[in-house]
A and B are shown apart, each in its own frame.
Chain A
Amino acid sequence: MNNEIVVYITTFTWILACLGIFSWVGIVFYLKSKWLPLIEDILEGGRRLYSLNIYLAGQGSLHYATVFLSKWHAGRMNMQEKRENVPKNAQRIFILSFFFFMANFVLFFSTSVLIVLIRKYS
């Protein structure tokens, strides 16, 4: 494939992934205001950490999605039984936002490395 076409595809993907990451921040704002306090009430006995601010909420949304996705991780955090009390639709939103973020993250960083390398060595 022509080097120029690769650069254009990479650039286009990078822009989309960057927009995706910014959109994910919007999703985290929604999760923080709507679901995180409820999930902390159920899983953490009302202890607030991830709903305190937007920076921690980002990590919190990924953390709880992992708890909902993995039985092993839930067991390790002592949340295997408690997670059954979390509404299923809330679990789905966390899991979807997790995959949305991971897809954009992987695309953003792989295209970042690719574009820097291509431009440096061409």
Chain B
Amino acid sequence: MNTSASMPSNYAIHIVEKVMPVDQLIMILYNNPSPIVYSHFKQVNQHIKNGLVQPGQIVLISPANTGECSIEEQKFLQVAEKVDRTLMQLAASEREILAKRYDFLNNAASYSGLLLGVSNTSWQSHVKQVKAILKNIERSYVTSYNTHGNLNNQAFFQARKMHFISLNNALLRFAQPKLGGNLLPGDIRNNLGLSTKSIVHQWNKQGGPAQSIPNFTANYETVAKMARNLKRVGHLGIALTFTSGLANIQKACTVGNDSTCSKSKYTETGKAFGSIGGGIGGGAVTSWAVCSLAFGVPSAGTSAFWCALVAGAAGGYAGGTLGGMAGNEVGEVLYEVKSTF
């Protein structure tokens, strides 16, 4: 939940995370809502169409005892309609990511676009690795069934055990207690919805050589979808650095005079390149100095990954800030040189 600065303190803005009837949302948001709350909420949030709220939409939460519409509530409606227009450009899955990670995105945008890119790209690579292992598991099931006509042979058990160990290690890197931890191969099978008996039965029903494990494809399709979405959000992070520069140039060219506009082109471009160059340099050196030199963290396990992420992000932020400041000055010097000639 996020409170807008222009709203009085007893109002709040909620960002919807999933599709649901508006009445259900009211029930979730308010404690024992009265009929007045229902009618007032719907009146204030008139941008909600067909009685359904969509992921990413913003709704205004007024105090439960409010009856009449205030000026702020009328202004909010304009904002909400703008937000809805922006949301129309996103796919449904992207809207959900936006809603669920709103605070993260918001914070990252305020500090450094690069940081967001780093964390999401790292995540995405791990998802890719898990995807590859899942494909290998599927391949060993299919190969065994096509070669031996059953799944009851030593070669298959060995291959499956090896893949499950790799999967366990890869999942451990996510540091997700639900999927990681010290899972045994059997537990992984349960988590993925795999049952040897049911698989054989369903394959027999299909007839012909087995192509894929039923219901299993859905598992890695979900993972792939997640990677795709996060990749797009990751790119957004890198783009934010340049977008903020472009916005400042646009602002200077709209509000200021010609010289302010021309100068801002130099300073903002210098700042963007300085931030990114400094972010890359600072991040690489800090993660190398801290993780490799100071602590000598081995690449096995999760420590190296998290050390690189934390140290790299901290160094990247510091380097980006200094690089941005210097880039701004360099842009100014170049502008002065250009003005002289």
Cα A53 to Cα B309 in complex, Å, equals: 12
CB distance from B271 to the nearest CB of A (A): 12
Interface centre among B278, B281, B282, B332 (most CB of A within 10 A): B281
Flag whether A99 is at the interface (Cβ < 8 A): no
**A18 touches which one: B277, B287, B337 (CB < 8 A)?**
B277
Q: Which of B238-278 contact A (CB under 8 A)?
A: 273-274, 277-278
A108 and B299 form a contact (CB under 8 A): no
Q: What does DSSP make chain B's interface, helix, strand, loop or mixed?
A: helix
Flag whether A30 is at the interface (Cβ < 8 A): no
CB distance from A22 to the nearest CB of B (A): 6
Flag whether B122 is at the interface (Cβ < 8 A): yes
Flag whether B71 is at the interface (Cβ < 8 A): no
**A11 touches which one: B291, B298, B330 (CB < 8 A)?**
B330
A59 and B329 form a contact (CB under 8 A): no
* Top 9 closest pairs, chain A to chain B, by CB: A112-B326, A62-B288, A53-B125, A52-B125, A49-B299, A58-B284, A18-B277, A63-B292, A59-B287
Q: What does DSSP make chain A's interface, helix, strand, loop or mixed?
A: helix
- Residues on B lying within 8 angstroms of A by beta carbon are 118, 121-122, 124-126, 129, 273-274, 277-278, 280-285, 287-288, 291-293, 296, 298-300, 304-305, 308, 312, 319, 322-323, 325-327, 329-330, 332-334, 337
A58 and B283 form a contact (CB under 8 A): yes
B329 and A115 form a contact (CB under 8 A): yes
CB distance from A71 to the nearest CB of B (A): 14
Interface centre among A15, A48, A66, A104 (most CB of B within 10 A): A15
Nearest-CB residue, chain A, relative to B126: A52
B299 and A47 form a contact (CB under 8 A): yes
Q: A54-B121, A58-B284, A113-B322 are in contact. Are A108 and B300 (CB under 8 A)?
A: no
